[in-house]
Amino acid sequence: MISSLGVGAQLLESLTTGGFFAALFLFTVGSFIIDFLCQPRYPKSIPRIGFGDGVINSVRNWIGYVSSYNGWVLEGYEKHSKHGHSYVVPSAPGRAQEIVVPRSQTSWLLEIPDRILSTQDAHSDVLYNSYQFFGMDDEFPINTMHKHLARNLMSLIPGIQDEVEGAIDATFGKDSENWTSLNLWQAWLGMVPRVTNRIIVGAPVCRNPTFLANLVSFADDIIRNGFLLTMFPTMLHPIVGRLAVLPNRWHAYRAYRVCKPVILQRLHDMTRQAAGDPAYDAWEPEEGFVTWLIRQAMAEGLREELDPHTLFLRLLPIEFAAIHTTVITGHSLLLDLLSADPALGYLDIIREETSRVLAEEGGQWTKSGLARLHRTDSAIRESMRLSIFAPALTHRKVVAKEGITNPAEGWRAPYGSFLMLNLAGTHHDADLYEDPQRYDALRFSRLREEFEAREKAGRAEPDEAMRAKRLGMVTTSDEFLPFSHGRHACPGRFFVAHELKMILAYLVQNYDIQPIPERPKNMWMGQTVIPPLSASIQVKRRKATAAAT
Which CA distances in Å does 179 have to 105, 174, 175, 496, 512?
51, 11, 8, 29, 9
Q: How confident is the model at residue 138 (pLDDT cuts 50, 70, 90)?
A: confident
Known binding residue 206? Answer is: no
Which CA distances in Å does 278 have to 270, 287, 294, 371?
12, 21, 20, 41
Q: How confident is the model at residue 467 (pLDDT cuts 50, 70, 90)?
A: confident
In this predicted structure, what is the pLDDT of residue 2?
47
**Distance, C-alpha 243 to centroid of its chain:** 25
Q: How confident is the model at residue 549 (pLDDT cuts 50, 70, 90)?
A: low
Give the residue, 77 or 25, on which the prediction is more confident. Answer: 77
Average pLDDT over the chain reads: 91
In this predicted structure, what is the pLDDT of residue 6?
59
- Angle of helix 346-360 versus helix 493-510 axis, rounded to 10: 100
pLDDT of residue 454 exceeding 90, the answer is no
Give 52's DSSP letter.
-
The greatest distance separating any two alpha carbons of the chain, rounded to the nearest whole angstrom, comes to: 101
In angstroms and rounded to an integer, the radius of gyration of the C-alpha atoms of the chain is 26
116 closest CA partner among 392, 440, 399: 399
State pLDDT tens for residues 166-219: 999 999 999 999 999 999 999 999 999 999 999 999 999 999 999 999 999 999
Which CA distances in Å does 204 have to 148, 195, 197?
22, 11, 10
- Kindly state the percentage of the chain with pLDDT values over 70: 93
Average pLDDT on 130-159 reads: 92
Give, in degrees to the nearest 5, the angle at Cα 503 between 500 and 504. Answer: 85
Given a contact cutoff of 8 angstroms between Cβ atoms, the answer to whether 354 and 508 are in contact is: yes
In this predicted structure, what is the pLDDT of residue 231?
87
CA distance 142 to 375: 30
Half-sphere exposure of 546 (CA within 13 A, CB side): 13
State pLDDT tens for residues 378-420: 999 999 999 999 999 999 999 999 999 999 999 999 999 999 9
Give 484's DSSP letter.
B
Given a contact cutoff of 8 angstroms between Cβ atoms, the answer to whether 542 and 507 are in contact is: no
The reported pTM is 0.92
Given a contact cutoff of 8 angstroms between Cβ atoms, the answer to whether 126 and 119 are in contact is: no
* 138 contact partners, CB below 8 Å, separation of at least 6: 120, 123, 129, 317, 318
- Angle of helix 119-127 versus helix 209-230 axis, rounded to 10: 90
Average pLDDT on 130-153 reads: 91
CA distance 472 to 174: 33
Q: Which H or E run contains 418? A: strand 418-421
**Distance, C-alpha 61 to centroid of its chain:** 26
In this predicted structure, what is the pLDDT of residue 54?
75
CA distance 186 to 538: 14
In this predicted structure, what is the pLDDT of residue 206?
97
Q: How confident is the model at residue 137 (pLDDT cuts 50, 70, 90)?
A: confident
pLDDT of residue 64 exceeding 60, the answer is yes
In this predicted structure, what is the pLDDT of residue 369?
97
State pLDDT tens for residues 294-322: 999 999 999 999 999 999 999 999 999 99
State pLDDT tens for residues 91-126: 988 888 999 999 999 999 999 999 999 999 999 998
pLDDT of residue 453 exceeding 80, the answer is no
Given a contact cutoff of 8 angstroms between Cβ atoms, the answer to whether 415 and 509 are in contact is: no
**Of 37-51, 86-100, 398-412, 464-478, minimum mean pLDDT range:** 464-478
Given a contact cutoff of 8 angstroms between Cβ atoms, the answer to whether 402 and 130 are in contact is: no
Q: How confident is the model at residue 422 (pLDDT cuts 50, 70, 90)?
A: very high
CA distance 45 to 99: 12
Give 387's DSSP letter.
S
In this predicted structure, what is the pLDDT of residue 197?
97
In this predicted structure, what is the pLDDT of residue 1?
44
- Kindly state the percentage of the chain with pLDDT values over 90: 77
In this predicted structure, what is the pLDDT of residue 372?
94
**Of 226-235, 245-254, 316-325, minimum mean pLDDT range:** 226-235
Strand locations in 78-190 (E): 87-89, 98-101, 117-118, 180-183
Half-sphere exposure of 466 (CA within 13 A, CB side): 4
H helices within 15-134, ranges in order?
A: 17-38, 55-79, 106-111, 119-127, 129-132
**Distance, C-alpha 502 to centroid of its chain:** 19
